[in-house]
Structure 1
Amino acid sequence: MNKKAWTIAIVFSLMAGLLGGIGAEKATAAPAFNHPGLLHTQADFDRMTQMVNAGTQPYLDGWNELVNSPYSQSGWTPRATATIIRGGTGQNYALLYNDIARAYQNALRWKISGSAAHGDTARDILNAWSSTLTTITGNADRYLASGLYGYQMANAAEIMRDYPGFDVAGMQDLLLNVFYKPLSERFLIGNEFGGDHNGAYIQNYWANWDLANMAATVAIGIFCDRRDIYDIGIEYFKHGAGNGSIYNAIPFLHPGGLAQWQESGRDQGHTLLGIGLMATIAEMAWNQGDDLYGWANNRFLRAAEYAAKYNNGDDVPFAAYEWGNGTNGAVQTQTVISDASRGQMRPIWEMIYNHYANRRGLPVPNISACAGLGRPEGGPNSSHASTFDQLGFGTLLYTRPAGSGGTAALPGGNIPDGIYRFTVRLDGKAMEAAGASNGADVRKSTYTGGANQQWTVTHLGGGQYSIRNVQSGLYLDVASGSLAHGASFQLWSGNGGDNQRFAFIPTGEGYFRITPVHSNKPADVTGVSTAEGVPIQQWRYILGSHQQWRLEPVSVAVRLQSHNFADRYIRHSNYRARIDSAVSPAGDAQFKLVPGLTDANGVSFESVNFPGRFLRVRANGEVWLDPNDGTEAFKNDATFRRAAGLADPRKYSYQMWSDAARYLRHSNYLLYAQAGSGATFNGDATFQEVSP
């Protein structure tokens, strides 16, 4: 998503959440977070305590690593200071990361053994920093500080949140107003403190910069009980514009269950840092019930296997990687994997191994070998600042019995199943199939309503989709599964290949990248041409309008979820349209999105359980489910423009076709078409299209 769109989305989302609706409406409480629920749950601590007390291996070896760490000793006097500088003149950030390591390790010793001396030490360190630190500054490296130390500070604080004398409110204030708002949020999506990514081109910063701040965002959201902040981190993981989101961090899928990491051509130290940070995000989300480990068909597992295999000394495939850097996106290229820092050991593998092998029961031979080499995992040491990038002690903290499973679930997809036409932002022309047999070209031409210009979209799970041409039933496919620029989009029989799986990545204002998951190179109009019949190819995303597509429903069944009352959906009740929760019968909240009755470029909402009745705006602005009488007046009143959401451009707002100033919105839970502005109105007029 572009910078401005992300900024608008988040500002309006936060304001709407704070202000709520109007009249009798009251904001719906977000689901409560599990506490403790960052990297460790209470069940984890109970397991550690039991195993350590019983002398069970490898827990006991992991415990001894912790006990023997110089940073886990009680009685430390904190060195809190008002200003932390990372990068440039006067650097003093070692004060912060040393004290966080001490707070975290002492917190672990208290939680596992019950030692009050260690609990008091952890509490006093955290309280000292929350009452003293006011600023994190320096050059661009300050964003590394906000991310790395933000997620670590939140994890130490989460362990201590119920400890006597711990200042929870003070720590929440520190994390929100020193780490998150001016730094992590600004870096990822931009806000009132400035543009995202420090004003650079979106691909300029390596994946680990995003990932550190994504980890901080997820951790701070949980610790501060801020669902809106947590959701920003989760959404960025799935669809973010920068290099830390999952498809950008893991751009290429290779044979043999391997996937190339974004920094693999740079060096292995930063590659492993990024792998560890993505695992950290996935582990925290798992403990809140969201399975990011499995998102995108276990894409992260394949990347971790790739990095582990290469750092174990084996060869791996490498595809040429391009990115844009600086402020203008000057193209840079890496053609070989880097052996710099190859074989470096970081305490990241136990978390990953125990999830995939023991929670999920999946084969991970290369990850298993890496974990075995580093067992028992220790923690930071004074040899180099980079050893403080991870909290460590994975053998103690993450070892779990085989078959331990879990209750986290994959988040849903972002596009409802159904039939769509795809129109390119460049000139509004539609993607079409040039034939109906294997190998038929895919191109773009003026939309005529033909079945060769309509596509059946089906969610396969984890945010990946198949796309089939309605005319032929054949699948959208990248020729030969090529990773190269310029590989053709074509039709082919279904084979389940990664070159026939796609993700829809929001780019803002209602447009998406249609991205083949094997290459992360979206559907691209060859030569940026506006001519008829121009072929569609794959190409590195360069923010071009020729790579952004609008998904316009031809026949799509959806529920319309309120943006600011997330448990409520548009439904009809005695034919009056309103928003309600727990709708029964379920069909009352299900609508078929069809081409607009008055203009096929718009959309109309036909009831699923009362076919022939449509959401229609009456003369007084009320919205009812009325039967189509075939008149032009009815068609106008029941046709809407499907626009980017006023409160969140990843969602939708619906303008009346005949009066663009009026939007569908809820007021006192009833649906109207009204004109308005401001955060409350924008939230009331924004909806998410979700599958029934």
Structure 2
Amino acid sequence: MKKKWLVFTVILSLLVGGMAGLVGEKRAEAAPAAFAHPGLLHTQTDLDRMKQMVNAGTQPYLEGWNQLVNSPLSQAGWTPRAAATIIRGGSGDNVALLFNDIARAYQNALRWKISGSTAHGDTARDILNAWSSTLTTLSGNADRYLASGLYGYQLANAAELMRDYPGFNLTQMQSMLLNVFYKPLVERFLIGNEYGKDHNDAYIQNYWANWDLANMAATVAIGIFCDRRDIYDMGVEYFKHGAGNGSIYNAIPFLHPNGLAQWQESGRDQAHTQLGVGLMAVVNEMAWNQGEDLYGWANNRFLRAAEYVAKYNNGDDNVPFAAYEWGSGTNGAVQTHAVISADNRNEYRSIWEMIYNHYAKRKGLSVPNIAARAALVRPEGGPNIQYPSTFDQLGFGTLLYTRPAGGGGTAALPEGNIPDGIYRFSLRLDGKVMEAAGTAGGAQVRKSTYTGAALQQWTVTHLGGGQYSIKNTQSGLALEVAGGSLEHGAKFVLGSSNGGDNQRFAFIPTGAGYHRITPVQSNKPADAAGNNTAEGALIQQWRYVLGANQQWRVEPVAVNVRLQSFNYPDRNVRHSSYRVRLDANVSPAADAQFKMVAGLADAAGISFESVNFPGRYLRVRTNGEVWLDLNDSTAAFKNEATFRRVAGLADPQRASYQTWADSAKYLRHTNYLLYAQAGTEATFQEDATFREVSP
């Protein structure tokens, strides 16, 4: 026994010694930016404004306050009806217990925040504590995923108002939201995890936009409430580029003239259409309160969709509709909506004050249809016990979101996901690249074997909000969809740059380092018709069907970047006395800027040339260290300075770099220095993953 203990002690000391640098590095990791609290649907500034206006008797705040006070769900003294198991859908459905109590907790919390009434504060606290100490399971048929989303975001919002209230059990509520709502249901539904495949094992387009959006709202809300930046970031990334129908381009597939955009469920019915619009507004509002402008993402795409839905529900039949197709079930069987649906038209949902006050008051934009819709029922009320669907929204928008012109803080548009520069686009199907067939306006776009010609290279420029112009490097003409068509099969051609919707594109990740190159007007990506592998096959737009003929590798030809560490996002790859390392606050900034160019050893790879020391490249020396060395034009140097750019080991939407001579080795940092090493453990994968950021 003593010998075994001695051996264990020696091994342990070696492990501790060997990992000392790594542990030290991890301890030095910068904490992620802190969330603002309260910071979900309501900030402290919002709450102070409501209190001031109600006390002063200012309209329409006072009318909105009276709606809240007169709600039967906002009365103090309610005894919670917490249950260990909640079922939505199927036998034993008892979900009304949960959504009624959430509404009561939220409304009592608001009354405490605005009036200071501890009777209402105590009621909200007691309801929330009862549920967080009792609920262990959300169950039922597929509707359980609606429960996880709708009631997950609502619970987090009620709890956020109470997080500092005496006796409120913050950690217990955080644990319940993470372990009952988020992990087994919300995360599983959106992206899949150890609990099962995403979207309940269905084809990715099977579930309507509102299913995704409910769970996206829960993701963002739970991330903020639980101070989990990773969860919040996943929700925001899904909003921008997610695979399901709730992400912004899938939820709003078509742009129409006159500032309108078609909602994904418009051909289904107007009740679910408005539900989805309201849920996207919730995601946008919570992100705004954390400093990110998702309202404005994709060139105010959400505004255009909300105008469209409001216009039709206000009784105006003059809205265009493009035939909408989607894949259903488990095998993607094609379904079609050919006309807009009048079902549930003009059903009012308490979603419009939030949207109106953002665009009209915060941003000063003209939103005539949204304004008219909000004015129809002002002041907005809350859930009605007789109508379960009214509990889908928290309500009371007139009180909560009315704001003065210019009021409501500021937020910034997130960065795009592709740095500006010159690229080639290589098709996953056969490796052929996108090429312009000529240099004149109207020239068609095809695919062909890469030769390095300028006709095969494209200048990509971020226009803001994740949208890009793509211009052919040879001619300078813009890539566009012929005639601005929304139809399947419309060809990609060259045209004079005019900034139109049909000349704007999004790069939407599809996994394994590939993207769909998606015209924002149609949401139908660049597609090689019929999986055609022939030289010169034309490129068209087509509904995304998960095909290799629709997925493109976006490969740098000449792109200036910073390489931001995945697990140390405050640090960037830089050279210092020619040694390559990770540092924060790099000065001079050019030490952390590199030009990604075609690989010195092979154009299929990439090399990193220093911006401020041209002619010097990141190069792996024989001892595995990475230095900024002068190109001596030898074959050995070219091999040592060339890398394969692959999907990030820790995040496929980032990048990792294999050495050209040994695909088992990757650029990675350890103790803030860069090396080329092999490894498979999670820490290695994080150390070997980088984000390419515009300088």
Does structure 1 conserve the Cα–Cα contact (< 8 Å) formed by 2:21 and 2:671?
Answer: no
Partner-residue secondary structure (3-state), 1:306: helix
**Aligned partners of 1:21 and 1:566: how far apart in 2?**
17
Three-state SS of the structure 2 residue aligned to 1:624 is strand
Q: What is residue 672 of structure 2 aligned with on the other side?
A: 669
Q: Determine if contact 2:600/2:639 at 8 Å carries over to the other structure.
A: yes
Partner residue in 2 for 1:468: 471
Tell me the TM-score normalised to structure 1 length. 0.97
For 2:267, the equivalent position in structure 1 comes to: 265
Q: Given the alignment of the two structures, is residue 377 of structure 1 paired with residue 385 of structure 2, yes or no? A: no
* 1:477-506 Cα distance to aligned partner (Å, 9 max, x none): 100100000000000001111000000000
2:562 to 559, 562, 565: 559
Q: How does 1:366-445 map to 2 (within 5 A)?
A: 366-404=369-407, 406-445=409-448
**Aligned counterparts of 1:317 and 1:397: Cα–Cα separation in 2:** 33
Question: Partner of 1:15 in structure 2?
Answer: none
SS of corresponding position for 1:131: helix
1:311 and 1:516 map into 2 onto residues whose CA distance is 28
Residue 138 (structure 1) aligned with residue 140 (structure 2): yes
Name 1:659's counterpart in structure 2: 662
Secondary structure in 2 matching 1:641 = strand
- Helix, strand or coil: the match of 1:24? helix
**What RMSD, in angstroms, separates the aligned Cα atoms of the two structures?**
0.9
For 2:230 and 2:639, the matched residues in 1 are separated by: 37
Deviation at 1:407, TM superposition (A): 1.7
Residue 328 in structure 1 maps to residue 346 in structure 2: no
Query: 2-side partners of 1:22 and 1:413: how far apart?
Result: 33
Matches within 5 A, 1:33-432: 33-315=35-317, 316-404=319-407, 406-432=409-435
C-alpha distance in 2 between matches for 1:175 and 1:609: 49
Corresponding residue for residue 630 of structure 1: 633
Q: Is the 8 A contact 1:258 1:306 kept in 2?
A: yes
Which residue in 1 is equivalent to 2:574? Answer: 571
AA aligned to 2:340 is I
Provide TM-score, normalisation by structure 2.
0.96
> What one-letter code is carried by the residue in structure 1 that aligns with 2:25?
A
User: Aligned partners of 1:25 and 1:450: how far apart in 2?
Assistant: 45
Tell me the secondary structure at the aligned position of residue 379 of structure 1. Answer: coil
Q: Which residue of 1 aligns with 2:25?
A: 24
Q: Secondary structure at the match of 2:334?
A: strand
What residue identity is the alignment partner of 1:684?
A: D
Query: Residue type of the partner of 1:486?
Result: G
* CA positional deviation for 1:405: 5.5
Partner residue of 2:5?
none
Distance in 1, matches of 2:325 and 2:689, equals 37
Query: Which sections of structure 2, spanning at least 5 residues, go unmatched?
Result: 1-19
Determine the C-alpha separation between the residues in 1 that align with 2:652 and 2:71. Answer: 48
8 Å CA contact 1:447, 1:453 repeated in 2: yes
The residue type equivalent to 1:349 in the other structure is W
Return the offset for 1:527. Answer: 1.8
Match of 1:492 in 2: 495
Please report how far the alpha carbon of residue 383 of structure 1 lies from its aligned counterpart in structure 2 after TM superposition. 2.1
C-alpha contact 2:526 2:542 (8 A) present in aligned 1: yes
Q: Does structure 2 conserve the Cα–Cα contact (< 8 Å) formed by 1:360 and 1:405? A: no
Alignment of 1:564-603 (within 5 A): 564-603=567-606
The number of aligned residues is: 674
Deviations 1:196-238 (A, max 9, x none): 0000000000000000000000000000000000000000000
Residue 615 of structure 1 is aligned with which of 598, 618, 621?
618
Partners of 2:474 and 2:408 lie apart in 1 by: 43
Deviations 1:403-459 (A, max 9, x none): 225220000000000000000000000000001011000000000000000000000
Indicate the residue corresponding to 1:506 in structure 2: 509
Q: Is the 8 A contact 1:20 1:564 kept in 2?
A: no
In structure 2, the residue matched to 1:530 is: 533
Greater mean alpha carbon deviation, residues 378-387 or residues 504-513: 378-387
CA positional deviation for 1:25: 3.6
Give the superposition deviation at 1:374. Answer: 1.3
Q: Is the 8 A contact 2:108 2:121 kept in 1?
A: yes
Shift in Å, 1:28: 1.9
Q: Work out whether residues 440 and 491 of structure 1, in 8 Å CA contact, stay in contact via their aligned partners in 2.
A: yes
Deviations 1:254-310 (A, max 9, x none): 001000000000000000000000000000000000000000000000000000000
Distance 2:389 2:413 in 1: 32
1:472 Cα deviation (Å)? Answer: 0.4
- Contact residue 22 and residue 680 of structure 1 kept, 8 A: no
- Equivalence for 1:639: 642
Amino acid at match of 2:45: A
| SS of residue paired to 1:129 | helix
2:13 corresponds to? none
Structure 1 residue 24 displacement after superposition = 3.1
Higher alpha-carbon deviation: 600-609 or 22-31: 22-31
Please tell me whether the aligned partners of residues 22 and 667 of structure 1 are also in contact (alpha carbons under 8 angstroms): no
- Contact (CA 8 Å) 2:46, 2:408: kept in 1 or not? no
Question: CA deviation digits over 1:523-564, x for unaligned, max 9?
Answer: 000121100000000000000000000011010000001000
8 Å contact kept, 2:209–2:246: yes
Instruction: Check the 8 A contact 1:524/1:538 in 2, yes or no.
Output: yes
Aligned to 2:551: 548
CA contact (8 A) 2:112 2:120 kept: yes
* Alpha-carbon distance in structure 1 between the residues aligned to 2:626 and 2:410: 40
Q: In percent, how many aligned pairs have the same letter?
A: 79
Amino acid at match of 1:320: A
Q: Which amino acid aligns with 2:546?
A: L
Q: Report Cα offsets for 1:342-384 as digits up to 9, x if no partner.
A: 0000000000000000000000000000000011000000122
2:8 matched residue in structure 1: none
How far has the Cα of 1:674 moved from its partner?
A: 0.3
CA contact (8 A) 1:21 1:684 kept: no
Report the residue type matching 1:676 in the other structure: G
Letter in 2 for 1:24: E
The separation in 1 between residues aligned to 2:346 and 2:682, in whole angstroms, is: 52
Secondary structure of the structure 2 residue equivalent to 1:169: helix
The amino acid of 2:652's aligned partner reads P
Separation in 2 of the partners of 1:22 and 1:613? 32
Q: Distance in 1 between matches of 2:451 and 2:174?
A: 56
Shift in Å, 1:632: 0.6
